[in-house]
Structure 1
Amino acid sequence: MSPKAAALVLVLLAVAGAQADINPDEVASMLWKYFTELGSHAKETVDQLHQTELTKHTLLESNLQSVNSYAEDLQRQLVPFAMELQVRLAQDSQRLKEQIRRELAELQAKLAPYADEVHQQIGTNIRQLQAKMSPYAEELRSQVDRGAGELRRALEPYATELRDRLQDNAESVQASLSPYADRLQQQIDSGVESLKQRLAPLSEELKAQVGQSVEELRRGLSPYAQNVQDGLNRQLESLTAQMEQAAEELRARLAASSEELRAQLSAVAQELRQAAGSDAEGLQQRLAPLAQQLDARVGQMLEAFRQQAAPFGETFGQRLVERLEAMRGKLDSGTAGVEDHLELLEKEVREKVAAFLSTALPAQN
């Protein structure tokens, strides 16, 4: 069995064996990633929809033993559903490509007499979007700075406490290290969670701004797109999906950076736990460098986090502008790229998975 196939089996088993509420979006994400094999190139992604090993029915059946009846029931239904969905996607992929190509050509022909007006409208939308994103980028920088500053201030007393504790005798230092490390870890966890909660709402607000910007663009272009509204709507739907994906990636990057910071800070607490388990003799001498450097090390970690996370807002704004400029180019040329329909295919996966999971299984007690 290939690593890809084994990975799919493991995820399906994990999902099926949970017995808690199943998240359709998680199942859809897993299937979509498998169907596309995480391809980094759009054409490869489409080709892989036709070639994926999921069509081999025995790929999964041999790995579905030793699970409870609920998991087996889900697997018996989910595997054929996934196989059927893969075949459907392969068919829909070609259909959507042809449909989008035809609609875009018709839309381009309809808009051609108003090329200057369309350019001006999209240019206006780009400038408005940049104006809207600028305060959010500044707010993100501000929140990152505040959050990092608050966390540093919360951890500063621990550096002072450690230096003071080293003035005691070795046995007392050793006895107090583990409780001290536990409290330090609790403060780290609390501080990082507060930081994440501070940053999370911004990505949701950005999603709302994305929807508003696309709707403004729709209103601006609709007068020039009479009789080809379906084509315009499909292009705007694809644009919305791309922008929302960028917003989700921003949220994920902020969360990942916060967790990376947690891991770095937690390594300090772990050092102290390990020291507590070593011989008391020479413990103070071994800990002295850490005590002297603790505040500086924490400061360096927080500064690295700040430097990494603060520019995310500007990067997000640039990506949105690139999406709008790409759409303007498509409307000029009437040419659709292979990637134009992938968002619609993924949306179809999510809708079908949600519908399947809502009807396939009985309610669990």
Structure 2
Amino acid sequence: MSLKAVTLALALLAITGAHADVSAQQVADVVWNYFTQLTGNAKKTMEQIQQSEISKQLNTLFQDNLQNVNSYAEDLQKKLIPFTTELHAKLSQDSEKLKEQIRQELEDLRLKLSPYADEVHQQISKNIQELRLKLSPYAEELHGQVNQNADLLRQQLAPYAQELRDKLQENVDGLQAALAPYAEQLQQQIDKNVADMKEKLAPLADELQVKIDQNMEELRKQLAPYAQDVQDKLNHQLEGLSFQMKKGAEHLRAKLSESAEELRLKLSPYAKELKEKLRTDAEGLRQSLGPYVDGLSGQMEQKIEEFRQTVGPYGEAFNKQLVQKVEEMRQKLGPYAGEVEDHLSFLEKDVRDMVASFFSTIKQIEN
């Protein structure tokens, strides 16, 4: 990756990000994806990279905010140079070298912990059991929230189909005018219910992150007596574990929001189709709408049920993922641990920390 490419991307970030509704998390996602894309395509030309989907995501993230650039943009660009240089050095470092550093760190930890192997194993096993107990209510709560929101959405949408049937059965003039409000109301109800669903599901990810912090602190205290001489190395490993777990929580949040939006997109065509049918001539309107209305309720219920079946298990799957992460930590500290395969997680954490720090600095400058 060229320093020019990184500087250009982050200059755009700084100029627009200070005034735009763009979070450090969003930027970190794009920057890290952009880096991994470049790394994975080392043999391809820069022209191909510039046309990649990741590059398009980077442009999309900021292009709507270009109008917010003001007179101090040039000064911000100058302040970017030290940061982009440091970030470039971090992104360009040899992955194998980092892997060796992590391997050596784990080897030192295992050596120091080996006299207490049984106790360490028991403490981490205890932590895993405690984590399972703490996470279980959240999986149940998520499942319950999904069911509750799906039922509410089903109840809110069901009357529209029935009211449409009633109107069709009435022998009234101006059928198009009588039915027109229902199409708009149906779309509004879909949008409102999905927005409410997102709002109710989002806090669960925040609660999970709090539990992750608590669990990591408990694990650190449980292992501290056995790693007094290598406390920094133990803390570093636990920081990496915490980062992976929190990243999983963010991924869960994104999946919940994405699934709710997919449901909205699957339901919206029914309202649009109703609008289209209302544009047909009055003579054929009743004949056209009859079969459509008869199947409308069932079709919408099917989409809602598909959403419920898909999203309901997310909580349990997430819980298993977190427990597996701690189990992997236990295996790493065991006497027969294998090769280090997740060293890139530490690099990604550093990148995200640097981007977050940069955003904090920009806010301080702005204030």
Q: TM-score, normalised by structure 1?
A: 0.82
Cα offset, 1:128, TM superposition: 1.1
* Alignment equivalent of 1:135, drawn from 134, 137, 159: 137
Look up the equivalent residue of 1:25 and give its one-letter code. Answer: Q
Task: Give the Cα separation in 1 of the matches to 2:81 and 2:285.
Answer: 58
* Alignment equivalent of 2:299, drawn from 287, 297, 300: 297
Aligned to 2:163: 161
8 Å Cα contact 1:105-1:334 kept in structure 2: no
Task: Give the Cα separation in 1 of the matches to 2:224 and 2:253.
Answer: 32
Aligned to 2:201: 199
8 Å Cα contact 1:125-1:217 kept in structure 2: yes
Superimposed CA distance per residue, residues 336-357 of structure 1 (whole angstroms, 9 cap, x where no aligned partner): 52423x2332232233334444
Task: Give the Cα separation in 2 of the matches to 1:359 and 1:206.
Answer: 28
Look up the equivalent residue of 1:339 and give its one-letter code. Answer: D
- Identity among equivalent pairs (%): 48
Range that drifts further, 208-217 or 231-240:
208-217
Aligned to 1:278: 280
8 Å Cα contact 1:156-1:295 kept in structure 2: yes
Matches within 5 A, 1:238-249: 238-249=240-251
**Cα distance change of structure 1 residues 149 and 21 upon mapping to structure 2, 3 Å threshold:** closer
Task: Give the Cα separation in 2 of the matches to 1:166 and 1:360.
Answer: 60
Look up the equivalent residue of 1:267 and give its one-letter code. Answer: P
Tell me the secondary structure at the aligned position of residue 227 of structure 1.
helix
* Alignment equivalent of 1:237, drawn from 212, 236, 239: 239
- Size of the aligned set, in residue pairs, is 345
8 Å Cα contact 1:188-1:262 kept in structure 2: yes
Task: Give the Cα separation in 1 of the matches to 2:115 and 2:45.
Answer: 44
**Cα distance change of structure 1 residues 221 and 301 upon mapping to structure 2, 3 Å threshold:** same
8 Å Cα contact 1:107-1:334 kept in structure 2: no
Instruction: Indicate whether 1:37 and 2:10 are aligned.
Output: no
**Cα distance change of structure 1 residues 9 and 188 upon mapping to structure 2, 3 Å threshold:** farther
Task: Give the Cα separation in 1 of the matches to 2:348 and 2:29.
Answer: 9
Superimposed CA distance per residue, residues 147-178 of structure 1 (whole angstroms, 9 cap, x where no aligned partner): 11111111111111111121245862222343
Look up the equivalent residue of 1:282 and give its one-letter code. Answer: G
8 Å Cα contact 1:177-1:272 kept in structure 2: no
* Alignment equivalent of 2:262, drawn from 260, 263, 267: 260
Cα offset, 1:179, TM superposition: 2.1
Tell me the secondary structure at the aligned position of residue 282 of structure 2.
coil
Task: Give the Cα separation in 2 of the matches to 1:51 and 1:111.
Answer: 45
Matches within 5 A, 1:1-365: 16=15, 19-20=19-20, 22-37=22-37, 70=70, 73=74, 82=84, 85-91=87-93, 93=95, 96-168=98-170, 172-332=174-334, 333=336, 335=338, 337-340=340-343, 342-359=344-361
Aligned to 1:41: none
Cα offset, 1:212, TM superposition: 1.1
Tell me the secondary structure at the aligned position of residue 166 of structure 1.
helix
**Structure 2 unmatched ranges of 5 or more:** 60-65
Look up the equivalent residue of 1:35 and give its one-letter code. Answer: F
**Cα distance change of structure 1 residues 186 and 284 upon mapping to structure 2, 3 Å threshold:** same
**Cα distance change of structure 1 residues 23 and 246 upon mapping to structure 2, 3 Å threshold:** closer
Task: Give the Cα separation in 1 of the matches to 2:219 and 2:16.
Answer: 45
Task: Give the Cα separation in 2 of the matches to 1:361 and 1:124.
Answer: 42
Look up the equivalent residue of 1:258 and give its one-letter code. Answer: A
8 Å Cα contact 2:10-2:80 kept in structure 1: no
Cα offset, 1:113, TM superposition: 1.3
Superimposed CA distance per residue, residues 67-122 of structure 1 (whole angstroms, 9 cap, x where no aligned partner): 76649746677588546522332237555433322211110001111111111111
**Cα distance change of structure 1 residues 244 and 287 upon mapping to structure 2, 3 Å threshold:** same
8 Å Cα contact 1:77-1:360 kept in structure 2: no
Cα offset, 1:191, TM superposition: 1.0
